[in-house]
Chain A
């Protein structure tokens, strides 16, 4: 039973445009949410996070939005750059545990 779902396996956008990656979760005990980025042959690297007491967190070109009532979060990348092409994993955690989605492969075309 996947508690964190990323329903889009892939996304392709043009350089300079906005990329929106979506994530849904089922467990209401999760109160901390993260996005990781993964390049081939490397481990995932932490990108941005948000606590459940917030609905938005911004870091440069990256913004994460949280809608607790819908159990939905999204990652916005503006403007998208070719170097952003990677697999993005959404994760949700409580005190002890972190669960990951299946990932979305983002391709940013020049």
Chain B
């Protein structure tokens, strides 16, 4: 089954403790992206990647890092999480970047206390 898999689904952590949210897709998509969803703000792009070793900032990249060492994986790293990073995070992939319909993961609900 074609899918985007995120882990974990839920995470509660403390301020400053480094964490990684993993994202993997099995569709051989070149384009991958991370979004956060906040009430009233919709989905805001954090980082995206057009291909292996090619990443770029989205609208809200501060406090986040990403890497794209292989095509299928695109982890989101929070080096020093803060409470304002409490949010619902979605990973997405697409065959054609902005032109294609995205396939989204099921989301990761992160709470930073």
Contacts and interface: CB of A to CB of B under 8 A. Distances in A.
A59 interface: no
B50 interface: yes
B113 to A, nearest CB: 22
A36 B57 CA distance: 23
B40 A102 contact: yes
A22 to B, nearest CB: 14
Given A97-B98, A98-B98, A43 B43 contact: no
Interface string A26-57: 00000010101000011111100100000000
Interface string B86-113: 0000101000011101111111000000
A6 B26 CA distance: 32
Task: Give chain A's interface residue range (CB within 8 Å of chain B).
Answer: 20 to 34
Interface in A78-110: 89, 93-103
Contact of B42 (A46, A96, A100): A100
B42 A32 contact: no
Contact of A46 (B44, B45, B101, B105): B101
Contacts of B46: none
A99 B104 contact: no
Contact of B45 (A2, A43, A44, A97): A97
Counting chain A CB atoms within 10 Å of each CB, which of B41, B45, B99, B103 scores highest? B99
Given A93-B99, A95-B98, A44 B90 contact: yes
B35 A34 contact: no
Contact of A43 (B97, B101, B105): B105
A43 B107 contact: yes
Interface of B: 4, 33, 35, 40-45, 48, 50, 56, 58-59, 90, 92, 97-99, 101-107
Interface of A: 2, 4, 6, 9, 32, 34, 36, 41-46, 49, 89, 93-103
